[in-house]
Structure 1
């Protein structure tokens, strides 16, 4: 008997109809169709206008409502209403459950003001962009650089070292077992793929460990590869950074002194035990999700090896500083964004110079320490200057950290290891879906404002609730198309549930979940959750689907959406796999409402 039941499960199909159309969808349909069984183009146009569709006015040759009706009824007999095509309630449901026709993001194109200085934007930033895997022994290649540019990353990091014969430049993670790739190959690939995903500027941050003759070779190589698209200023120092709009289609160089590279690794061991106060910890239910462990117990030998590297690196620190001091003029002239740590404490380094702008880099631990006591200093610095945050050196496996501590302090370049995957990287990729996915997101006004008394935003202050977001999860579909019938359970349909929540500042961060719907490939939950937000400008909606199992739950998809870009109303939310690739068919029907 059990065998026959299994066969019934596998052959069962869920057609749109009474069982699968949520009650809220039926109510919407009835409201805008005037209680009749059909919704014409005019009625659909009124629905779209009520939910904020910008192309619902009917002025175009074929407006949004006409396109939707045409697409939904394409190839089918059309239900007439007063002699015109019209939608049934199931047709209306099909429209709402279409990613192409009814996406969750309000704007699919650039819509922020792109004429402010670079310091006014969060910039999609990679760390050690050439690594294919872990930080100690993976190959170096232009492939991860290409992949990063294809998804819209705007800052690529290259570590430059002399090759074995000291007559050319290799890109590799210095004094590790990583296999090198040539600088020329990396630069050539950057030029080819720089603007496939975004027309806005690409910044190359260089870790420079070269002698002066090789620096001259870099200058020649950079000019030959990039030609006219390489931007560099005529003046020695910039008093203000250019805007993304002014730098469209251009490539910029930025360097930092070798000393910072060594300090970053030296601080790594000293600060290993530091837990940023901002973080909620590694709890599965924490807002930004449990990241890949930092591999402390498992990599004791690697830690010891890293200690040995640190001592050797300190021995050559003076040589590298001397090489930088003697850098050829043609090399220095190409550096648009000058970087480095001024002498003194980190707090001293955060002091702005009214005559010039620069970039400062801090490790995630350094940021946590200075933010605990000097948060407004960081915010003030980032109003004119660029701040780059990079992962601590013990993240040997290329894991990442909570990006919100950097974002809430105005840090433009929150640098991530893009070569892996995990919840933190899901957040990073979701954050940069904003502003048309162009890789530049305008910072909220509160981070750029200075009060008459000279005070700026204090990230540690208790903040009032700005808005309330209601999220409803109706149903899901598509797993039958993207997964094998036996992927989740061998003898029955899956038991799905949804985790939904907010990732943001600690007071906003939370995760909740629906009940488990048993034995259904097309689960219907119809559950609503309410989230109070104090900093909605940088908050993200996290969604994960899991299949309940007695031993360990199976993964069924995820997505991250910027709260600032959510399109209110009932929307289709496509889901992505562990590595961030979109499933062909898996999606949820959800609604978003701001109170």
Structure 2
């Protein structure tokens, strides 16, 4: 079908492609061929001698140009007659190569679904074309599509799950001047995000607003945001949504916050009481369709002196260090004044009554938490302090997150809405790692890759070692071992990088494969560069990634355009957990930096999980 679409875009009034038109269509398809070769092939395929190609002739030309030798060799290995795969041959391929349990009935259904030739379909035979379609289909995907459904146990305490979480959810751009919008909440909810932030301030006419305080970001009505959340909270997932309110409001407008949530969200508000005898948090299953309210005072989102200097340097602003220190001191004095005034403001009872199983407390130490905190207490820790705790007290951190929720949030220095590395904190069991969903980057790829599994419901059950109370696990030590072997075989129809125009110029692609997980498992490998071929580059590059903790490992594939003059640009990427990878010959269907589908762009790989 898509060949036909390209043809009809380029055809003339006679429903044919002249030689020059065929060249333009090939350029659009990112196929580079010498003009003399194009003319020669057109002459051979122009059976009616018109000097141009009709759709049937152009389709034949395309098939000649797109023959994939690596797939033909694989097909010939199992098709004894060299023509078609019989049912028992397809069974053997699926069992031996793809490690897929199957029987004759399964194979017949696969042939019925994918074989384009109706006569072969009647005979239960799979042609090379049908075999290629299988490898490019969902059945041949590297991602295990049974994980498109919720398949994990959802009856364990909330603290046993990683939770898809956003930072400053209302922002669509940066932290200083960007717009605030209810659209930010809609976007992340539709991506399965379950933890939303709302910075609440007094607004005009008694209506509280949401915006990034003391900045030039625009404001959005709290009521409008709650209405959007009410409509979209459970569109992508039935499991609970957290509303984390940073409360900067007067008592009067706090009552307005509470009234809007009660009137708009109604029975969806969680009403499970937190009691002194609570031994563990309720489960996502028990909280289906519920919205959990968390109320927080001022977050420690100020810039320290050294952070301010770094930010100013990045902005190419030259100021004497002594002047910076003076300004910081004055600003801190103002902050302390604001803070002292806030301490005299009571929390409105109407708002306090909405808080139950997610009660915010200040984090002092792991020992203090063990002795004083309840399971329903949640602490928010800034990345700098969290990094120190990960480095110095990883085992204690893991024990803490088996029982209580922890939120990790970026430092105030990230004014460009850049993201923290979530894996650093997931490795010690932190459930809520708040990321700027509006920022496309490697870290967001990893986040969406982790939460691609389990039906994209926003909850992923942590590995047993991160939730089993008796176990003492340290991410520096081996608990299990495996060594996934990968071969990056070839690519298919790779576009030019985003922002470099439409696909006419050929690319020089290479593939970077990265493994993320506990520190011992982080690794990277890559292929050579293939010059001037984005349509069907072949690498046949073998890679091995020994893993100590495969249950937490994630693989990121990135295809890049080699550029000797500047940084290599990303063509496409895809991330997924090792536990969701299928073995055998598989296609990796690429996504853009903004997670848009780049089909038919893909990688063809072989995976062996040993």
Shorter-chain TM-score bucket reads 0.7 to 0.9
Q: 1:330 to 1:164 in 2, by over 3 A?
A: closer
Q: 1:39 to 1:115 in 2, by over 3 A?
A: same
Q: 1:376 to 1:170 in 2, by over 3 A?
A: same
Cα shift at 1:364: 0.7
Please point out which of 572, 577, 588 is paired with 1:573.
588
Q: 1:586 to 1:371 in 2, by over 3 A?
A: same
User: Who is 2:68 aligned against?
Assistant: 20
Counting matched residue pairs gives: 549
1:336-375 mapped onto 2 (5 Å cutoff): 336-342=356-362, 345-351=364-370, 353=372, 356-375=375-394
C-alpha contact (below 8 Å) 1:294/1:399 kept by paired residues: no
Q: Deviations over 1:57-101 (max 9, x none)?
A: 46xxxx653443233323x34337xx6131123431231123x33
User: Who is 1:463 aligned against?
Assistant: 478
Cα shift at 1:348: 4.7
User: Who is 2:141 aligned against?
Assistant: 103
Matched, 1:38 2:58: no
User: Who is 1:85 aligned against?
Assistant: 124
- Between the aligned partners of 1:466 and 1:402, the Cα distance in structure 2 is 24
- Between the aligned partners of 2:517 and 2:36, the Cα distance in structure 1 is 45
C-alpha contact (below 8 Å) 1:569/1:592 kept by paired residues: yes
**The residue matched to 1:334 in structure 2 has which SS?**
coil
TM-score by length of 2: 0.82
Please point out which of 455, 467, 472 is paired with 1:436.
455
User: Who is 2:315 aligned against?
Assistant: 298
User: Who is 1:136 aligned against?
Assistant: 176
- Between the aligned partners of 2:242 and 2:106, the Cα distance in structure 1 is 38
Cα shift at 1:135: 0.6
- The root-mean-square deviation of aligned C-alpha atoms, in Å, is 3.1
Please point out which of 409, 419, 427 is paired with 1:408.
427
User: Who is 2:152 aligned against?
Assistant: 112
- Between the aligned partners of 2:200 and 2:544, the Cα distance in structure 1 is 49
User: Who is 1:279 aligned against?
Assistant: none
Cα shift at 1:213: 2.2
Q: Deviations over 1:435-462 (max 9, x none)?
A: 22111000001112244xxx62122x33
Q: 1:484 to 1:143 in 2, by over 3 A?
A: closer
**The residue matched to 2:521 in structure 1 has which SS?**
coil
Matched, 1:265 2:306: no
Cα shift at 1:118: 0.5
1:199-348 mapped onto 2 (5 Å cutoff): 199-236=238-275, 238-258=278-298, 261=299, 264-266=300-302, 268-269=303-304, 272=307, 296-298=313-315, 300=317, 310-323=332-345, 326-342=346-362, 345-348=364-367
TM-score by length of 1: 0.84
- Between the aligned partners of 1:380 and 1:168, the Cα distance in structure 2 is 42
- Between the aligned partners of 1:371 and 1:485, the Cα distance in structure 2 is 41
**The residue matched to 2:448 in structure 1 has which SS?**
helix
Please point out which of 227, 244, 266 is paired with 1:188.
227
User: Who is 1:507 aligned against?
Assistant: 520
Q: Looking at CA atoms only, which structure, 1 or 2, has the larger radius of gyration?
A: 2
Structure 1: segments with no counterpart, 5+ residues: 275-292
Cα shift at 1:239: 3.8
Which protein has the bigger helix share?
Answer: 2
Q: 1:390 to 1:494 in 2, by over 3 A?
A: same
C-alpha contact (below 8 Å) 1:340/1:359 kept by paired residues: yes
Cα shift at 1:338: 3.3
